[in-house]
Amino acid sequence: MAVGRRDCKVASDFISSRDEISGLPHLHFAFAIHSFVPRRYVETQNPVATPSVVGNYAEGMRIPPLVIQKSKNTFEKKKFIPDSDVTFLHVKDVIVDFPDSIDADQANYVISTESCHAGYCRLKILDNGNNEKYANLAIDHKGINYLGSKKSDMQFRTKISTNKKAIDSMLSTLLNKGHGFDVKFMDVFSGVPNDSFNLNRRPHTSVGFSGILVSAQKEEDKNKASSGLIEDVYQDEVDHQLAFQCKTWPPIANDWKTRERTFQWPSAATIDKVLHCPVHVVPVCHSSSGNADIEWKLSFAVAEKRLIAEEVGDTQRQCYLVLYMLCLSIMAEGILKISHIRSIFFHACENLETRMWHKNPAFCVLYLLDHLIKSIKKKQLPCYFVKLNNMMDHLTDLQVSQLERRLTNVRRKPIEELLCLGETYTILDVFPYNLNIRKLFAAVLADAKSYKDIAQAQQSVAYFINASNAVCNGFYHEYGFDHCASVFEDVIDNFVEPVLGKEEAVNQRDYIPHLLNQRNIEFSNDLPPDDIWKPITFCRFLIVRYVEGNTGAGLYEHLACLHHAAANIFKERRLELLKTADVQFNEALKREGEGHGAGLFVDYAHFLCTCGRHEEAVPHIMRVISTEKEKPESVNYYGRMESHTVDSYLQNEINTNGGIEVLSVVFAYYLLVDCYNVMKKTTDVENALEGFEKVCEQCGDLKAYNLLGYTYLKLGEKDKATKTFTRAQKEPSNKIVKQYLPKPPAKKGKNGHRK
């Protein structure tokens, strides 16, 4: 039944509507949906092109891997239901058709639906000389020879088991065909030492960005029992099924071709494509069949796969996967089947307007749950293709009662069901390993309880961004750089734009590379020096993902600074890394946008000075001084990684305070005095010192006097240094200067001894 006007209004009122049963605002439940099955995951689920390969994986309709730790550094993917994610249909070269369409001389079997549950059939063996080699599979039933389904399946599986090596290779071929890594990110890891990344302490997949790391380590991982790599598909998730192709579309499914569709889903063109897909007969009987040994099932698996590929959009797929996850623990009990939720989903696609899935996914997921519960109560769920096939007529009253109770509990607390999954298992490619899911959602759930109307929506989005920020932080430490970027893009697209408007969304999208670059700088402060490859690869990733045209000066500058630091950490590669840094600095100088300014020229001048190229550095320094000395604005920051490139005075300050941040013009004078001193230009040194003193006086930053004091120490002028440090000491937080000041004489006690 199509959605009514009231439901349409509720669905379109995404920001202010609230679900009556769960009490959840649609806005907050939508955030949970986008968190547990994010767009970045859905977009990686590409269908397999081969028509005879079906199942969740082959259709791009599989939930994210749920992983549990078995022992130290050993992880296992949890399998909840017996249904296979990949099914290879082994279509035999026999002719099978319905009585009205069959050529009795050429065919092998005629399909009979008499005395069978709708959607199931028997295969009558034609006595025309075409079936002699299958005589051992025949079963006589009331004087008619039928092809035995169980016998046929047993013979097929015996042949499969005797050719295991070839059968297993089918999966390897499938996984290596069309599911590769994103080539544009391959160079991000070039030049990185193989031993710099250890992925085996936590589970990971070959999806997305981490896949490049995995591809480089696969041979090494094969020899490690503790490998954390979770394969896309394991052999126990694969099935091989005997199948006979029907020559024509089953008459019992003719209703699907012509039935009225309110929202024209699927389109007429797709209906035509689906009707040209093969329908198969497979050796599966109905659960309540009285003649299980001769009963077969009409399989529309290939038709479903084509329908999904043509008509199911990312948001519809997302809602289906959330429904799947909500029902997962119930399906594990064996009564509710994946075929049930599939049928609910396909019927909903016909009854809901297509734009509704994107506009309000929370409403759509709850709609799916409601209709599943309603179908169970009535014991009435028609198969999507065969309307007469009631998929729930075999359930007992006790089973109905159990399912209704369990699903009603999920319906009342859908986010709680998802949180329980996230607490028990690591949901790979969705959340970082060991992330506290309940803590992550605590503020969001608290806000949901107090949420009243649209006036609070802006505050709610702030909570969503904070939660997304925590997810981004976790992925950074797991090398999931692609996830870091996508997390913010998702929350902007799905919540910032609908709530705060398009202009704000554009501004925040433009800010993402700068935000992530700042995050990269902050996190690199906490890394040991040998881990500098992590911020280097992340910076490369940001350039590949975000830099277009002549922009990206700031990212190239940071990458150059990191290579400059790496040159001083890995001395054996010093010349190579310095050359790389020089190239990147020059690339930054040619570019525009965020980061192209005084700070860039100071960093490059600093690099040139450390390379002994002082004369080349002076013009860049003078450019900064000429633009900044009257009105200083630009700032340079140096953290622990950069401490490997600076002199001992600045190293001491960085190690003491965790970093140093000074006006670019202050650092420019600090470098300029050094340059002139090395170049033995005494007059220029004096002039530079005079300018340095004026800038310190003008800017009012007492910490700037630290650098002036270090300059005097390097020139051997201790008295001037002491005077400068004394002035810098007026800033209470500037405690580091005490070590450069003369110690005051100890006070005398009453007996004349010094204390």
pLDDT at 609: 97
Q: Please tell me the total count of domains within the chain.
A: 1
Quote the pLDDT of residue 284.
97
Query: What is the spatial distance between Cα 171 and Cα 159, in angstroms, rounded to a whole number?
Result: 17
Q: Note whether residue 14 is domain-resident.
A: no
**Chain Cα centroid distance, residue 657:** 35
* Residue 51 in this model has a pLDDT that exceeds 70: yes
Q: Is residue 108 part of a domain?
A: yes
Report the candidate in 669, 657, 659, 658 with the shortest Cα–Cα distance to residue 707: 669
Most confident of 3-17, 508-522, 736-750: 508-522
Rounded Cα distance between 343 and 60, Å, is: 17
Give residue 571's pLDDT band: very low, low, confident or very high (50, 70, 90). Answer: very high
Domain assignment present for 270: yes
pLDDT at residue 213, rounded to an integer: 46
18: which DSSP letter? B
For residue 386, pLDDT over 60 is answered with yes
Residues 324 and 372 sit within 8 Å (Cβ to Cβ): no
Residue 5 banded pLDDT, cuts 50, 70, 90: very low
Residues contacting 557, CB < 8 A, separation 6+: 584, 585, 588, 595, 599, 600, 603
CA angle 350, 323, 468 (to 5 degrees): 115
580 Cβ partners below 8 Å, 6+ apart?
191, 563
pLDDT value at residue 13: 76
DSSP alpha helices (H): ranges in 530-642? Answer: 533-546, 553-569, 574-590, 598-610, 614-628
194: pLDDT confidence band, cut at 50, 70 and 90? low
Q: Which residue has the tokens 């007992």?
A: 396
Here the tokens at position 24 are 């959840």
What is the domain extent for residue 258?
84-179+235-311
Query: Is 200 inside any structural domain?
Result: no
pLDDT tens-digit map of 575-585: 999 999 999 99
pLDDT score at 164:
83
Distance, CA of 602 to CA of 623 (rounded, Å):
9
Q: Which of 198-207, 303-312, 725-734 has the highest mean pLDDT?
A: 303-312
> What's the rounded Cα separation, in Å, for the pair 668 and 622?
8
Query: Is pLDDT of 221 > 50?
Result: no
Q: Does the residue 674 lie in any domain?
A: no
**CA distances to 124, 218, 669 from 296, in Å:** 11, 43, 86
| Cα 215 → chain centroid | 18
Average pLDDT over residues 148-159: 95
Which range scores top for mean pLDDT: 138-152, 160-174, 732-746? 138-152
Burial class (CB in 10 A: 0-12, 13-18, 19+), 142: exposed
Residues 445/415, Cβ–Cβ less than 8 Å: yes
Q: Hey, what are 538's tokens?
A: 């992340």
> What does the pLDDT average to over 458-466?
96
Q: In this predicted structure, what is the pLDDT of residue 167? A: 85
For residues 48-73, average pLDDT: 89
**358, 366, 363, 374: which is closest to 323 by C-alpha?**
366
Instruction: Kindly compute the dihedral angle of the four CA atoms of residues 484, 486, 489, 491, in this order, to the nearest 10 degrees.
Output: -80
Residue 171 lies in a domain: yes
**338 closest CA partner among 85, 89, 36:** 85
Give the model's confidence band at 2: pLDDT under 50 very low, under 70 low, under 90 confident, else very high: low
Taking phi first (over 0 means left), then psi (-120 to 50 degrees means alpha), and beta for anything else, what does residue 300 get? alpha
pLDDT for position 211: 42
- pLDDT tens, 296-350? 999 999 999 999 999 999 999 999 999 999 999 999 999 999 999 999 999 999 9
More confident residue, 701 or 508: 508
Q: Which of 38, 31, 137 is nearest to 467 (CA)?
A: 31
User: Band of the pLDDT at 125, cuts 50, 70, 90?
Assistant: very high
Is pLDDT at 436 greater than 90 in this prediction?
Answer: yes
Mean pLDDT of 462-490: 91
Say what the pLDDT of residue 691 is: 95
Q: How far is CA 255 from the centre of its chain?
A: 40
According to the model, what pLDDT value does residue 666 have? Answer: 96
* 247 inside domain: yes
Name 436's Cβ contacts closer than 8 Å, sequence gap at least 6.
none
In Å, how far from its chain's centre is CA 81? 24
Q: How many CA atoms lie within 13 A of 162 on its CB side?
A: 6
**Which of 730, 737, 683 is closest to 710 using CA atoms?**
737
Q: Is residue 366 part of a domain?
A: no
Angstrom distance (rounded) from CA 622 to CA 626: 6
Does the structure show a pLDDT above 90 at 128?
no
Q: State the CB neighbour count (10 A cutoff) for residue 719.
A: 8
Measured CA to CA, the distance from residue 464 to residue 35 in angstroms comes to 10
Dist. CA 433–CA 402, nearest whole Å: 34
- What is d(CA 83, CA 250) in angstroms, rounded to the nearest whole number? 25
**What gap in Å lies between CA 720 and CA 741, rounded to an integer?**
11
Return mean pLDDT, the chain.
Answer: 89
